Chains A and B, each alone.
Chain A
Amino acid sequence: MIFALLLFVAVPLMAACTPAEGNVARLLRLGDYTGPIAVLSIPADQGVEDYFRYVNDRGGVDGVRLIVVSIDTRYDVARGVSAFVAHQDDPMLLMVDPVSTPMTEALAPLIAARGLINYGTCDGKFQAELGRTFLWGVPYQDGFAAFIDWAVEDWQAKGNPGTPTIGYMNWDSAYGYEYMKGGQEYAALRGVTLLDPEYYPTTELDHSPYLMRLRDGGANYIFVGGVEPAGTNVIRKAYEMGLTDDIVFSADWWGISKAGASAHADELEGALIVSFFLRGAEAEQTFAGDLWVESGRGALEDMNEIYAMGVALSKNFEEGVRLALQEVGYEGLDGEALYDAFQQLTGMERFGIVGPVAYDEDDRRGSTVVKFYQVQNGEIVPITDWREAPDSVSLYYGD
């Protein structure tokens, strides 16, 4: 009887003493950890995990722990939508990070309806719409415009008259199309001949027909999109076809990783990379490199540069939560508060990994600058400083 009474009293007390979760702010990442773009998702996620742990080990953000919930969507939009619906009622979910253009587009209205905010990769349409989607970095079309500027300079520096002819190849997908929504208009503005875009299936194994059309069109420069190793594979094919002798190839920021450059040094020699985050050894020399080692991830040379980008994105969340807490306290911390806070991050530095934050009331760009890199002897080396990426979003979508 006494035992039963003790049990009756003790059990609720024990339950009451169970450590609660405490004050938290959650980010839902809908990544791809076992599918076709895992090479992009995994290092970015590692960067987020490590940075949140780094912050939490130091007391969190004014006592609020940052939590990342990572769901493996395998690059399948249907999984992303279902995962969001399953988590949308979490009161401390503030932000969602869908790691694909189609998933971002599918979820954006749902996220807005819930009063949350989300990251979008780099689709300019979200800069044009000025909604609740904040871009990771520079809009794709602005990065392409920066490439056009660089190509014109390079062309003329080599003593050529006029402007070059430029080709464009990318996945036959929403991501691939986005580059041309403003990119084509910017090419016309610069007086550059831009050949018809070549869109290839993500599953394409032989890129030679697309490359031959661009060669026959007289391309002097070819910009290649596609998440690693897709872009690398295209340029390797071009090398095999002998095209890299006369045509300058450039990958976008999801192409040619440090590992790819090292593994295919001869084929990629001279290829460019346009990037809104630091690449190669430059990325290793930032706080992200220290965090990588401190977190026991392995040798510094094994750090994928996208890990550093993940760290930079985490800084946005940390400082956004900090600002929101200052404004509304923990009781008022929600997606709406974070939405207001993100628009006040303007100019914030993120360990030098990316350019200063451009977010404000009229801007959803993560930053506005890119750097150009080149593969040289299997290494990725910078060939420019940060350069402003021209606004080409407004050329297509309007102001």
Chain B
Amino acid sequence: LALVLLALPLAACTPAALVASLEVDPPTFELDMTMVEVAPGVYYPMLLIVPITFTGSGWAPGETVAIDLVPGEVEFPAVEPGENVGIAFAVADEDGNIETTMESITKIYILMRADIPGETMALDPATIDLIPAGVYTIQATGATSGAVGTTTIEFVMPAE
């Protein structure tokens, strides 16, 4: 199986789950990713180049929003089973909007499940173990308001 990653843009934006103390309108949370179908075997470094952008609105002005991947049954290095793992963060502007992108180091650790040895400080291609195909939940949590928004991302393996 050629492990080529094709990420689909997300259309759905599920309603936010709110906590009792929430004082802002329900936040929205979306994910956008340019659809890039790459040739088999060249997902790296293509995956590092493709921007993965998170946007949203309705957050408390100025609050930091932590964006987590919910791993489900999938294991990630240095992540305890059952725990979410941070994949991005944003600071809401004065209108409560957020926009941020996933950093390369996160793509390496989460999407490629690879290592960055201290000796080279660079991705070790031999350790790449691509995230399994499937639909993953992504959860955004406002650090101040406690507001939570979710969306999903799907990773598929294109046909050879």
- Which residues does A use to contact B, with CB under 8 Å? 33-39, 72-86, 88, 106, 109-110, 113, 202-205, 227-230
B64→A36 contact, CB < 8 A: no
A37→B118 contact, CB < 8 A: yes
A82→B78 contact, CB < 8 A: no
Q: Choose one: A74, A81, A205; the contact of B109 (CB below 8 Å).
A: A74
Given the complex, which residues of A lie within 8 Å of B77, measured CB to CB?
A: 34
A79→B119 contact, CB < 8 A: no
Q: Tell me the bound Cα distance from A73 to B67 in angstroms.
A: 14
With A88-B143, A110-B143, A113-B144 known as contacts, the answer to whether A36 contacts B121 (CB < 8 A) is yes
Report B98-134 residues with CB < 8 Å from chain A CB: 102-103, 105-106, 109, 115-123
B89→A81 contact, CB < 8 A: yes
B9 at the interface (CB under 8 A from A): no
Given the complex, which residues of A lie within 8 Å of B75, measured CB to CB?
A: none
Cβ-Cβ contact count across A and B, 8 Å cutoff: 85
A82→B84 contact, CB < 8 A: yes
B77-99 vs A: 1/0 string, CB under 8 Å? 11000001111110000000000
A76→B103 contact, CB < 8 A: yes
Q: Tell me the bound Cα distance from A75 to B105 in angstroms.
A: 8
Q: Tell me the bound Cα distance from A397 to B152 in angstroms.
A: 43
A34→B64 contact, CB < 8 A: no
Q: Nearest Cβ distance between residue A36 and chain B, in whole angstroms?
A: 5
Chain B interface size band reads: 20 to 34
B68 at the interface (CB under 8 A from A): yes
With A34-B78, A36-B117, A203-B122 known as contacts, the answer to whether A78 contacts B88 (CB < 8 A) is yes
B89→A106 contact, CB < 8 A: yes
Contacts A33-B78, A82-B141 known; list 14 others, CB within 8 Å: A35-B109, A36-B118, A37-B118, A74-B116, A75-B116, A78-B87, A78-B106, A81-B66, A84-B66, A88-B143, A106-B64, A106-B89, A203-B122, A227-B118
B66→A82 contact, CB < 8 A: yes
Q: Tell me the bound Cα distance from A228 to B89 in angstroms.
A: 28
Q: Which 6 A-B pairs have the closest CB atoms?
A: A82-B86, A203-B122, A78-B86, A81-B89, A79-B86, A82-B66
Given the complex, which residues of B lie within 8 Å of A228, measured CB to CB?
A: 118
The CB with the most chain B CB atoms within 10 A, among A74, A109, A113, is that of A74
A205→B67 contact, CB < 8 A: no
Given the complex, which residues of B lie within 8 Å of A229, measured CB to CB?
A: 118-119
Q: Choose one: B85, B119, B144; the contact of A82 (CB below 8 Å).
A: B85
Q: Tell me the bound Cα distance from A202 to B117 in angstroms.
A: 11
Q: Tell me the bound Cα distance from A266 to B122 in angstroms.
A: 26
Q: Choose one: A73, A85, A227; the contact of B66 (CB below 8 Å).
A: A85
A74→B78 contact, CB < 8 A: yes
Given the complex, which residues of B lie within 8 Å of A83, measured CB to CB?
A: 86
Q: Tell me the bound Cα distance from A88 to B141 in angstroms.
A: 12
With A33-B78, A203-B122, A230-B121 known as contacts, the answer to whether A78 contacts B141 (CB < 8 A) is no
Q: Tell me the bound Cα distance from A361 to B80 in angstroms.
A: 40
Q: Tell me the bound Cα distance from A109 to B143 in angstroms.
A: 11
Would you mind naming 27 contact pairs between A and B with Cβ atoms under 8 Å apart? Answer: A73-B86, A75-B116, A76-B103, A76-B105, A76-B106, A77-B103, A78-B66, A78-B67, A78-B87, A78-B89, A79-B86, A79-B106, A81-B143, A82-B66, A82-B67, A82-B68, A82-B84, A82-B141, A85-B66, A86-B84, A106-B89, A113-B143, A113-B144, A203-B120, A228-B118, A229-B118, A230-B121
